[in-house]
Amino acid sequence: MQWLYLYFPNLQLDSLLHQQAYNQACVLVDKNEVVQTNSEARQLGIKIGTGLGQAALLSAQLKVIAYEPKQEQRLLAQLAQRLYQTSATLYLDPPQGLLLQTSDMLRLYEGLAPYWQQLQQPLMERGLHYHYASAHSPLAAQVLARAGNDRLLTHQGEATGLLHQLPIHSAGLNYKLCLQLERLGLNTLGQAQALPRSALGQRLGQTLVTYLQQLEDSSAPSRPRYQPPEHFRQRLELLYEIEHSTALRFPLKRLLSDLEAFLAPRQLQAAGLILGLEYREHTSERVYIGCSDGEYRAESWLGLSMLRLEQLQLQAPIIAISLKTKGQMPWAPLSAQLFEPLGGKLTAGQLISRLQNKLGDHAVQQVYLRDDHRPERSFYQGAPQSSYQAHQATTYLRPSLLFTLPQALNHKPDQQWCILSGPERIQSGWWDNVSICRDYFIARNPTGQVCWLFRTPREEWFLHGYFS
Amino acid sequence: MALLQLEKERLVWRARQLTGPDHRRQSSFYPTLDAHLQGGWPQTGLVELAYGSAGIGELRLLFPLLAQAESRLQVWINPPAELNGQALAQHGIDLSQTLLIRCQNPQQALWSAEQSLNSGCCSHLILWAPGLTAPQAKRLQVSAKGNQALMFWLHPQAEPSTSALPISARLSLAPLATGLRLKIHKYQGQWPQSFCQVDMHELWPSLAIPTHLPTHHGPAPSSNIAALPFKPR
């Protein structure tokens, strides 16, 4: 079996810097020690392992960011998710490595070079620095990649040859073991491999023997291989704090293009997205962006999201955003009419989603009927639904405009009013404590408005609607 | 030259334009109105209706048209009270194609109207708004024309806006005993006309003042009122 190992020494820093062009020295620091540097910082002489104090002396404008293993692990999983489209069998090797089994995929891609080209593309898009090596065993590939080998080796002989010449200290062994080996005069891996295993085991412990065995063992690692998640969920740390919701456009665009890359190959679409906004010193907020028809394209989602975000007042500067899908469903292309004369730019569902995202869910409604004699309860307004259940309307004439709260009339209708019909007594609702007892009249007032009036048993008169 | 200039500014029209695509009509289902409007409502465009006070029959004027539903949306924006689904259904309007939008401010209402028209999936749009500026009216008119939609703009003033808005028609409504009296202030493709009486008695007999009804058809209207059990003060 052939294995390919990808090693990302600057995973967190590269991902952070990729969002925005930042051309100042920048380092990630863990426990007062520099762990990742960008090229500007390296030019100033800041190396991995430099103390924070020394680094600060080397550059006054140094940007220092805390190293977060959790975030790096998340980034690695995101990367695996993307690479899974190219390569079927892959293993996470946290914190900074990915192991890919290549032998099965070569048949599909017809050779190592086209396959490697496919793999490189997402890495370049993300602006990641990486080292790679292919070899006959997982450990050999890992050791060669971490040593910065950057070569694709197809023959086992080449890989073993390189491993033989590899200095002991870059073989990925722990520091104590390296020291012991060097004291024995073993400076390259090949020298250690040449010695009898049992003797080595007695002198230096079983770890080394296992290591040497694994270098030659081409079988798959015992840990489970990577399984892509069923639902899209991604988080993006921002290099700068964002204070205006419109400035979220660019980081959001990146998340949405990842979403598209997630949904499209699976033939899925999302009915809604939940955008998480993480504030500095403030509890994070969730924003729901809906599209009832379902959508997978990043461009459409971006338009909908921006409508929603324009309405949003940020409570504090944003330091990170996250995105997850709500309601994934199989992608069903909307059937467009072949001889559509009307342009048909949007479907009704898309229009409704757009309106809802801008105006809020409650602002866009449909009217539904209900069997109730009480006029104000005989219909209700609710969220638009794709399947509308028709309902029989009442046969009594009802006004087209109805007041939510009936308006009290100062005095009862006098001679100038013309009663057109009535009374129609509606007495109902005694079972749910909203009982009414009203005598309804259709009357025309002196202005010419056709009104719907009612009289209560206490002889109070109310205007309830207009026959517009 | 001067005539060309006038034509460019759309201040004059030629009789042959009447047959153009801009002047197709759809029936309003009121014979008198159809006769006055040379066939009815415009097929597309923006129509202003100044109705004075609510409840005189401004929506009943539109219901026969709206009941001829096609499979596109009918959007209602900012009605002055709740839109009674029972009444709409009674008048034959397809509630599954009815969308109700309530906006906080006029800007949003205009935005919603434009979006709905531009989506191409809206056949009729009824907007209640206090006033439109000329650029706003122009945009809505263009959107409606370009997307095969007819938009009605209703406002409770007695007279239509005085400024010459670039829209298809401007009408003002006044109540009559049996229907409405329409004043046609502007109608693209024809001269302004004085008045037109729309008789709604046929469609809504119970909402018209039964003055011309023969008395032997039932109890006299006066007796109807007298029969009401009002308590004397």
Does A217 have pLDDT greater than 90? no
Looking at A48-62, A176-190, B93-107, B184-198, which range is the least confident one?
Answer: B184-198
Residue A174 near residue A208, CB atoms below 8 Å: no
Nearest to B138 by CA among B126, B151, B128, B148: B151
Residue B209 near residue B197, CB atoms below 8 Å: no
Q: How big is chain B, counted in residues?
A: 233
Nearest to A399 by CA among A454, A462, A464, A321: A464
Nearest to A133 by CA among A98, A85, A172, A104: A98
Question: What is the tens place of the pLDDT at every residue in A194-215?
Answer: 888 888 888 888 888 898 888 8
Looking at A91-100, B67-76, B213-222, which range is the least confident one?
Answer: B213-222
Backbone angles phi and psi of B231, in degrees to 5 = -80, 135
Q: Where are the domains of chain B?
A: 29-204
Q: What pLDDT, on a 0 to 100 scale, did the predictor assign at position B172?
A: 92
Which of A400, A411, A451, A455 would best serve as a mutation to test chain B binding (most B beta carbons within 10 A)?
Answer: A400
Check CB contact under 8 Å for B209 and A420: yes
Check CB contact under 8 Å for B206 and A421: yes
Residues B41-73: b if buried by 16+ CB within 10 A, e if exposed: bbbbbbbbbbbbbbbbbbbbbbbbbbeebeebb
B116 touches chain A (CB under 8 A): yes
Domain B29-204 has CATH 3.40.50.300: yes
Check CB contact under 8 Å for B116 and A351: yes
Check CB contact under 8 Å for B84 and A418: no
Question: What is the tens place of the pLDDT at every residue in B137-155?
Answer: 999 999 999 888 999 999 9
Q: What pLDDT, on a 0 to 100 scale, did the predictor assign at position A332?
A: 77
Residue B117 near residue B89, CB atoms below 8 Å: no
Check CB contact under 8 Å for B86 and A378: yes
Predicted confidence band of residue A399 (pLDDT cuts 50, 70, 90): very high
ipTM, two decimals: 0.82
Looking at A116-125, A139-148, A333-342, A435-444, which range is the least confident one?
Answer: A333-342
Nearest to A440 by CA among A285, A467, B89, A131: A467
Closest CA of chain B from A459, distance in Å? 8
Predicted confidence band of residue B225 (pLDDT cuts 50, 70, 90): very low
Nearest to A216 by CA among A267, A171, A159, A259: A159
Predicted confidence band of residue B227 (pLDDT cuts 50, 70, 90): very low
The chain B residue lying nearest A355, using CA atoms, is B112
B203 touches chain A (CB under 8 A): no
Predicted confidence band of residue B223 (pLDDT cuts 50, 70, 90): very low
Which of B62, B74, B82 would best serve as a mutation to test chain A binding (most A beta carbons within 10 A)?
Answer: B82
Q: What is the DSSP letter of A85?
A: T
Check CB contact under 8 Å for B85 and A400: no
CA separation for the pair B163, B153 (Å, rounded): 15
Least CB-CB distance to B54: which of A368, A384, A449?
A449
Least CB-CB distance to B84: which of A341, A401, A444?
A401
Does B83 have pLDDT greater than 80? yes
Q: What pLDDT, on a 0 to 100 scale, did the predictor assign at position B230?
A: 44
B96 touches chain A (CB under 8 A): yes
Question: What is the tens place of the pLDDT at every residue in A274-285?
Answer: 999 999 888 899
**Stretch B219-223: mean pLDDT:** 41
**Stretch A341-367: mean pLDDT:** 83
Considering only residues 12 to 51 of chain B, which have any Cβ-Cβ distance to chain A shorter than 8 Å?
none
Residues in chain A with CB shorter than 8 Å from the CB of B115 are 351, 354-355, 358
